[in-house]
Amino acid sequence: MTKSKTELKRRALLAVSNYGAHLTLFRNAVSAWAGLNVSDTECLFFLFLQGMATPSELARHTGLTSGATTAMLDRLERAGLIERRPNPKDRRGSLIAPAPTSAEKMAAWFQSARQAQAKLIARYSTSELELIVDVLERFTELWDRERARLQNKAS
């Protein structure tokens, strides 16, 4: 039975919404399993994305106060997941970076999920993968534009 374009669009948008919600639930479960707060793992994901950040940038990203950000960074440093480095642009400040072994530690947390993803993605043809990549990259750009729009409104 052929689905109408309207029905397929509805299902596609619902799938994107469900994907986001379930990814959040999974990341929350990983945080709990690893003995971290959700803010801790969000900070780590942000650092892996950016490479390095100031404590103020991390506070803005996580929505934490400066005191709560300091406590989070202390926990992550004790766990060996981040390093504090001198900030060459502000000698009173510091830069936060993932510790050299943190990628390896976090990779172990997601090993099962990565294996399941590889098995799932292997089912698709090259042309199907090109379409999947296109859609996901475009949604990533869309969310980034929408985030920037909201942040500009708040400023």
CATH number at residue 35: 1.10.10.10
Give the pLDDT band of residue 138 (cuts 50, 70, 90).
very high
Flag whether 76 is in a domain.
Answer: yes
- Tell me the average pLDDT of the chain: 92
3-class DSSP state of 19: helix
Are residues 84 and 95 in contact, defined by beta-carbon separation less than 8 angstroms? yes
3-class DSSP state of 83: strand
Q: Could you tell me which of 13, 18, 19, 68 has the C-alpha nearest to residue 43?
A: 68
pLDDT, mean of residues 61-65: 91
More confident residue, 19 or 3: 19
Dihedrals phi, psi of 47, to nearest 5 degrees: -65, -40
Flag whether 115 is in a domain.
Answer: no
Q: What is the pTM of this model?
A: 0.75
pLDDT, mean of residues 91-98: 92
- Residue 1: what pLDDT? 56
Flag whether 111 is in a domain.
Answer: no
As given in the structure block, the two tokens for residue 9 are: 């669009």
d(CA 97, CA 99): 6
Flag whether 128 is in a domain.
Answer: no
- Tell me the residue range of the domain where 19 lies: 11-100
Q: Between vectors from CA 116 to CA 115 and to CA 117, what angle results, nearest 5°?
A: 90
pLDDT, mean of residues 114-133: 96
Are residues 103 and 48 in contact, defined by beta-carbon separation less than 8 angstroms? yes
Pairing relationship of beta strands 90-98 and 82-87 according to DSSP bridges: antiparallel
Flag whether 40 is in a domain.
Answer: yes
More confident residue, 21 or 109: 21
Flag whether 119 is in a domain.
Answer: no
Number of domains in the chain: 1
Flag whether 146 is in a domain.
Answer: no
Q: Is the pLDDT of residue 60 over 70?
A: yes
Flag whether 134 is in a domain.
Answer: no
